[in-house]
């Protein structure tokens, strides 16, 4: 192990696990991610803390559950008093955050990071100080320098909309911009320890990229639940999200007229194209590591903050507890570990990422963190065979949802999901129907077994584990007694 190894943490926005060859998809062109996977530990079942942007990334950055760090729904400021991993590393580390932040004050350097490159001007209404409205993202200035004219009014100023940016040539996309800036950071700081976080916006909506035509919609295989409704006894969350998706909400921009099967297929093809765009950006960043001669002393992590339904169960985007939304890629490359390219079985949670990275870097792991280091799993001394994964859901948006009053109420009612070590998934909520799925026999979650008399003892045992987790994690969410 090198002394104070570098950390390069690359994560995407809204990339489901089954978009890479190491997770069974050999149709998407991802040669750089394939190579990285071949050199990495690949976690077979990696889960986010919550299937929505702000809560999920708050866990990625702090090692705390959303209900603990306060980021319980989208567009909530991560309190300045809550430390991130950048605050936990020694002062010898130069730290950088490049990309979408979505934890408040998007364009302002903060939370212990020494370098800051921003790409988003879509959250200006959530800035805590009006003077920040005079500050635009680094990507905004980059597009101005390229001669583009902004197209959208936001908080009294003109900015570049997401559809505008997504339709640009590859060399002007957010992915390429971040790849080039990250490469510069790597070359400039090759002689000192660093921790660089790069959040690539794609394949997040608007489902548009320079590779829209790379995959023909008819060539993409259907999943068993593509354009199939949730089970008849699904939770209200899932049923209402299906209704919301069928209204055209969540497509950014919405369809011109009623949803059609061809429209859904076009969205899926464009999403795949955006994943290939991401792969090309990742390739440039990894190439910079090789050219700088520091790949052998750099921990590389690749993951995503949540997935996307893409029409599975007739739902678009996230904010549900199906596997397509909560299960993400998770690769860790640490070249000095003897078994540095192997599969990690069992259930892994993002809550363990900060302590694991601190441990791998030889840093102290604060007692306040709510996850545990999995470095010994990577070393082959332990396993995840008995590990459960928890999903900590409290809300989708800080502002009220305008689509439906009932949906707004359900979305802001706590749900807690346990994915057990033996492949069963239980979701508890006071907002109506609860759910139980056997992921072993029913991996696509066709049949909700919660009301099955034969599963009563299993439900009771799993519910007990959720309650034990609540006590341990200081979670006061009200859940039904089962």
pLDDT at 31: 98
Instruction: For 113-127, write each residue's pLDDT tens digit.
Output: 999 999 999 999 999
Please indicate, yes or no, if residue 411 is contained in any of the structural domains: no
Residue 261 lies in a domain: yes
pLDDT at 283 over 90: yes
Asked whether the predicted pLDDT for residue 418 surpasses 90, the reply is yes
Res 166: pLDDT:
96
Lowest-confidence region among 148-157, 227-236, 394-403, 445-454: 394-403
Q: What pLDDT, in 10s, does the model give residues 28-81? A: 999 999 999 999 999 999 999 999 999 999 999 999 999 999 999 999 999 999
Q: What is the pLDDT of residue 253?
A: 74
- Asked whether residue 423 is assigned to any structural domain, the reply reads no
User: With pLDDT > 70 as the criterion, what percentage of the chain qualifies?
Assistant: 98
Given a contact cutoff of 8 angstroms between Cβ atoms, the answer to whether 293 and 191 are in contact is no
pLDDT at site 255: 86
- This prediction has a pTM of 0.97
For residue 306, pLDDT beyond 60: yes
Across residues 436-444, what is the average pLDDT? 98
Whether 462 has a pLDDT exceeding 60, the answer reads yes
Instruction: Quote the pLDDT of residue 397.
Output: 84
**Number of domain units in the chain:** 1
Q: Of 400 and 313, which is predicted with more confidence?
A: 313
Nearest to 285 by CA among 276, 275, 295: 295
DSSP-assigned states of every residue in 279-343: HHHHHHHHHHHHHHT-GGGEEEEEEES----TTBTT--SSSS-SHHHHEE-EEEE-TTSTT-SEE
285 falls within a domain = yes
413 belongs to a structural domain: no
In this prediction, residue 131 carries a pLDDT of: 87
d(CA 52, CA 241): 13
Tens of pLDDT along 196-211? Answer: 999 999 999 999 999 9
CATH number, domain at 96? 3.40.720.10
- Residue 86: inside a domain: yes
Q: What is the model's pLDDT at position 373?
A: 98
Exposed, middle or buried by CB within 10 Å (0-12, 13-18, 19+), for 245? buried
What is the predicted pLDDT for the residue at 425? 98
Mark out the alpha helices in 98-233 (DSSP H runs).
Answer: 138-145, 162-166, 174-188
Mean pLDDT along residues 424-439: 98
The C-alpha atoms of residue 190 and residue 60 are separated, in whole angstroms, by 25
In this predicted structure, what is the pLDDT of residue 225?
Answer: 98
pLDDT reported for residue 279: 98
- The reply to whether 332 falls in a domain is yes
With respect to residue 397, please indicate whether it lies within any of the assigned structural domains. Answer: no
Quote the pLDDT of residue 400: 57
| Contact by Cβ (8 Å): 227, 191 | no
pLDDT for 229 equals: 97
DSSP 223: P
**pLDDT score for 232:** 97
Model pLDDT, residue 296: 96
- To the nearest whole number, what is the mean pLDDT of the chain? 96
Q: How confident is the model at residue 339 (pLDDT cuts 50, 70, 90)?
A: low
Q: Which domain holds residue 38?
A: 6-387
pLDDT tens column, 390-405: 999 999 986 655 567 8
């Amino acid at each position: 192990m090198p002394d104070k190894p570098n950390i390069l943490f690359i994560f995407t926005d809204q990339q489901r696990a089954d978009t890479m060859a190491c997770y069974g998809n050999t149709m998407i062109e991802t040669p750089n991610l394939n190579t990285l996977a071949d050199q990495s530990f690949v976690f077979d079942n990696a889960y986010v803390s919550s299937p929505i942007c702000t809560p999920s990334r708050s866990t990625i950055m702090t090692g705390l559950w959303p209900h603990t760090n306060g980021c319980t729904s989208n567009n909530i400021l991560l309190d300045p008093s809550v430390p991130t991993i950048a605050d936990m590393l020694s002062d010898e580390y130069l730290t950088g955050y490049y990309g979408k932040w979505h934890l408040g004050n998007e364009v302002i350097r903060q939370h212990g990071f020494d370098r800051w490159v921003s790409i988003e001007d879509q959250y200006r209404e959530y800035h805590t100080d009006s003077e920040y409205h005079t500050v635009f993202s680094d990507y905004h200035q980059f597009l101005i320098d390229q001669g583009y004219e902004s197209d959208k009014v936001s908080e009294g100023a003109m900015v570049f909309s997401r559809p505008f940016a997504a339709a640009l040539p590859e060399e002007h996309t957010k992915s390429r911009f971040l790849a080039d800036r990250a490469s510069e950071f790597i070359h400039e700081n090759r002689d000192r320890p660093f921790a660089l976080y790069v959040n690539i916006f794609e394949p997040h909506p608007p489902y548009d990229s320079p590779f829209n035509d790379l995959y023909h919609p008819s060539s993409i295989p259907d999943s068993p639940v593509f354009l199939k409704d949730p089970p008849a006894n699904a939770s209200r969350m899932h049923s209402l999200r299906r209704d919301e998706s069928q209204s055209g909400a969540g497509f950014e921009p919405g369809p011109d007229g009623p949803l059609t099967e061809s429209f859904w297929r076009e969205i899926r093809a464009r999403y795949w194209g955006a994943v290939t765009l991401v792969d090309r950006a990742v390739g440039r960043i990894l190439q910079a590591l090789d050219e700088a001669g520091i790949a052998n002393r750099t921990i590389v992590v690749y993951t995503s903050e949540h997935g996307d339904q893409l029409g599975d169960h007739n739902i678009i985007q996230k904010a549900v507890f199906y596997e397509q939304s909560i299960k993400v890629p998770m690769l860790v490359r640490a070249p000095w570990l003897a078994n540095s390219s192997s599969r990690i079985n069992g259930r892994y949670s993002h809550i363990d990422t900060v302590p694991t990275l601190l441990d791998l870097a030889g840093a102290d792991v604060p007692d306040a963190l709510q996850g545990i280091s999995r470095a010994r799993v990577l070393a082959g001394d332990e396993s995840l065979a008995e590990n459960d994964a928890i999903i900590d859901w409290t809300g989708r948006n800080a502002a009220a949802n305008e689509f439906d009053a009932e949906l707004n109420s359900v979305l802001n009612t706590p749900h807690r999901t346990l994915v057990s070590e033996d492949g069963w998934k239980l979701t508890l909520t006071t907002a109506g129907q609860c759910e139980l799925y056997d992921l072993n026999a029913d991996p696509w979650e066709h049949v909700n077994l919660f009301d099955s008399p034969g599963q009563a003892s299993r439900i009771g045992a799993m519910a007990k584990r959720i309650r034990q987790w609540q006590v341990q994690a200081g979670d006061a969410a009200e859940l039904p007694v089962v």
